[in-house]
Structure 1
């Protein structure tokens, strides 16, 4: 297998922890990192401090993308910066007929979806979207049960996703809190969930109707200890009255939950130029929602009932897939921060007529439920030849997940159903405003 040359656009926490580390430690015989691109020189310094083997690597500013391609002659572009930067690098990489690996969400707007799909159609390169949730063993087993016909024709899906008070609040401390950066959480986070459903049932979303609200965070948040903008957790004078902060800390010591990706060096105050990842979750610049409920209609008749909440006592989800021959159920409660024992996650299968089956899935180590290592193998070694069904997401899957997230937000804003096909065609949604 020939060794490929990679450049990385966006030297983020994700780029360092997910891609660069694995390329240097696990896939080094197959990968060579030949260039880094970012708007902040501080991110290069963080990267070189973490990975001394990369010292001396060429670095580039965003406007130097063409120069980077000319000088480093890569085979693959990895896009892992803030969400709103993805489209530019994906399109340029495909225009150079290079393969591109993009973190999710692929992009943040329907207009950028159209740009990427057009670029993919005209390129000899291929875009891969890193939907790692697909690879978690529990999720691949659900896919296999659907493919085996256990539920028959899928008629409806219920998916309720819960983020706890630590993880959920983290999005309101960081750049994600502004819609222009992330597309809102119906895109930044919900694309994970929507893509899973789209992939499980192999249907395309047509229309969404939704409600959304900012209940917990922002200046009107019920638990805001003081109405004052511009605060940071590291210097806040009222944080001992903030229940979100004190959930993990004491009056004398700040405690950060172990093994969380937010504990990495490059998100600490002062690590980046002009940016901190500990902004106040009650700041008035927050313009995204923390709660959604939605209904999505699919092209082969299925319907999805979906909700996501970013401030709950524990983290996990409940799923049910219903069909003409039976029902699949599963519930996940993450034990890492729950604070109490949680049950093993199993899959319950109920045939339409007959006895219940409980399916135990062997867990695998690694992030995102064991999905990260398997995704990386497919990205850097090629698709697993023993797998009998497609799993890697491309431009179309990336687009449908973003389009559905945008439809959810626009429906919540207008109070009207939004047709995903119209977003894809570039038609304006009446009453919707904002960057989309």
Structure 2
């Protein structure tokens, strides 16, 4: 029986880790501790899972006490992004394994701290990049491994976040770089990790542009320039296109999302947590639009873009190689797409030959069916029948975060950034 402590009792902690631990993996896993700076989060968690009523609670300054009293084997880190590094490093100093939500940290410097701590520890860091586990994404990996496209030369990845999901980042703590690292880290690190994994190559150099086009006090969609508003009490919310698109005057419109569908409940139960802050506040200091070109160590090139205010959500992907091309288009959250959408397929175009359409077997579960499978790998151990590595380590987490940092820094400073320089990798020899 492996004993787990959860640091950061967030919605993600409850749904992604605690729920499956209790309901599916109780024969291998035991929750022995909860740690958070906000005691109200313990109540929310235990109301949802009354079977853990007697699990000890610890405040954020009581990490040492928690380890001493409950003796966990592994620490699950699911708090706000900027808190990850301290819990990870402290766990490693106690030779404990760590499972952390992405992003592993919010800066390259903090990633370096984690890798150095892991090098001196008996513990191991696992980063839960669940996008790898989507059936479409694993199928793409398998096609690449089969040699369908040959040596990969370039990748085009354009990611679209709709006005519901995209605006949510600017209503919450994500809107401040000191908490999230910016969306090129908090969100795009998922995408950079996917490409790194598909290519089996390391990012070397990044040049990017970025801007705040839709949100912040200078937005052309801002009804009135005034700080400190909240959607729940705003007197001009029905003049706000973002609010009106997803909310009726009678509050009868119901919108579902993997990440934010229950945030309204948290507004009154978490301390100082408001998921309805105004998206036009002047304190917003991150970008909502990026384009980037990334060079890899074995010669591949990535052309990447992401936009956090679009009419629909999904992505378009093309992987080009010396023997052919793979293409796929996803429309995420079809209930929020205002037009009919085709079923996602993977199209294979050999360089010389006939096109093939591949229909992927789907799975239920969050993140395109990825969550249930990564949970099995976390709580049961990696599937020994899988012919490739999929669960991520600290080096994977570091490359994803550092690529995201290089993107926003390049956009700010108008110059290329080199990944190894940001990570200061000269003395790091383990992952």
TM-score by length of 1: 0.96
Pick one of 88, 104, 108 that aligns with 1:110: 108
Indicate the RMSD between aligned Cα atoms, in angstroms: 1.2
Q: Is the 8 A contact 2:207 2:417 kept in 1?
A: yes
Taking the aligned partners of 2:248 and 2:72, their CA distance within structure 1 comes to 49
Q: Is the 8 A contact 1:84 1:181 kept in 2?
A: yes
Taking the aligned partners of 1:323 and 1:259, their CA distance within structure 2 comes to 35
Which whole-Å deviations, capped at 9, do the CAs of 1:201-253 have from their partners, x for residues lacking one? 00000010000000000001111111111111111111011111111222222
**Secondary structure, counterpart of 1:11 in structure 2:** coil
Q: Is the 8 A contact 1:266 1:272 kept in 2?
A: no
Name the structure 1 match of 2:146.
148
| Structure 1 alignment gaps of length 5 or more | 428-436
Within 5 Å, give how 1:38-187 maps onto structure 2: 38-187=36-185
Pick one of 227, 230, 238 that aligns with 1:229: 227
Q: Is the 8 A contact 2:171 2:275 kept in 1?
A: yes
Q: Compute the displacement of 1:293 (Å).
A: 0.2
Which whole-Å deviations, capped at 9, do the CAs of 1:245-279 have from their partners, x for residues lacking one? 11122222253403543122675322211221111
The answer to whether 1:211 aligns with 2:214 is no
Taking the aligned partners of 1:80 and 1:331, their CA distance within structure 2 comes to 30
Name the structure 2 match of 1:340.
339
Name the structure 2 match of 1:400.
399
Q: Is the 8 A contact 1:327 1:350 kept in 2?
A: yes
Name the structure 1 match of 2:241.
243
Taking the aligned partners of 2:217 and 2:287, their CA distance within structure 1 comes to 13
Name the structure 1 match of 2:349.
350
Taking the aligned partners of 1:158 and 1:407, their CA distance within structure 2 comes to 18
Q: Compute the displacement of 1:315 (Å).
A: 0.3
Name the structure 1 match of 2:31.
33
The answer to whether 1:331 aligns with 2:329 is yes
- How many residues in Structure 1 have an aligned counterpart in Structure 2? 425
Name the structure 1 match of 2:429.
none
Q: Is the 8 A contact 2:263 2:275 kept in 1?
A: no
TM-score by length of 2: 0.97
Runs of 4 or more, structure 1, over 4 Å off, are none
Sort the Cα spacing of 1:213 and 1:254 in 2 relative to 1 into closer, same or farther, 3 A: farther
Q: Is the 8 A contact 2:267 2:275 kept in 1?
A: yes
